[in-house]
Amino acid sequence: MKGRPVQKTRGAALLAATALVMSGLAACGEEGGTGEASSTASPSAEDPSSSETSSSSGDASSGSDGSSSSAGGGEGEVAELPAAATKKTKAGAIAFNEFYQDQLGEALKTGNVAALEEYTASCDVCDNFIEKTEANKVKGVTMDRNPYSTHDASASNRSDSGFKVTLTVDSTGYREVLSDGSKGRQAKKTSYKVTTDTQWHEGHWVVRDSVIVE
């Protein structure tokens, strides 16, 4: 697979990512480290789940009410990027982040992390999310829906040639679906802002770091 939060240390963020099961939101990274970054929700449920929020500035904005409509691919398949997210532009970086957040939710719902593995590079929190999602899938645990939608996205240039992308993520309430089909723990509705270090790598955008700012 291809990794400092505001008001929190990287260690604390990673600990939160590990401890929160279902709607935990993890963050790491700031410019000066590997980057500044995206946020990921931890795939297991707490009872009820906790939330963290994040915000960050950007100079170009693009609002998108609701998450990208790209559904996850089949088992082990990488979901197709929306055409807008393939462009090596500021708008393209924003569209990519909307897609990435949607794929976090699809991974919770289906257990398929192929798109996240493809579009993540050196992001500890993202890798943690992927590992936990895969572990849940082995146990037969998924979530009952893709809970994420995004809006108020913006981007600004980073000194390392990538983009600092910020967007608001709304998460609906959702629940674990256990291996026997019964309902497990529940995550509460929440909203937070995410800032990502988004870089062009081998012909497409990747998330290199993630921060949730409260």
108-154 pLDDT, tens digit each: 999 999 999 999 999 999 999 999 999 999 999 999 999 999 999 99
5 within domain boundaries? no
CA angle, corner 162, sides to 158 and 166, nearest 5?
70
DSSP string, 80-125: PPPGGGGSSSHHHHHHHHHHHHHHHHHHHHH---HHHHHTB-S-HH
4 within domain boundaries? no
The domain that contains 201 carries what CATH number? Answer: 3.10.450
Asked if the peptide bond before residue 48 counts as cis, ω within 30 degrees of 0, the response is yes
47-105 pLDDT, tens digit each: 433 333 333 333 444 444 433 445 555 566 899 999 999 999 999 999 999 999 999 99
3-state helix, strand, coil in the chain (%, to 5): 25, 30, 45
1 within domain boundaries? no
Domains in the chain, number: 1
> The tokens of 170 are what?
């709304």
181 within domain boundaries? yes
Instruction: Print the domain residue range for 108.
Output: 10-212
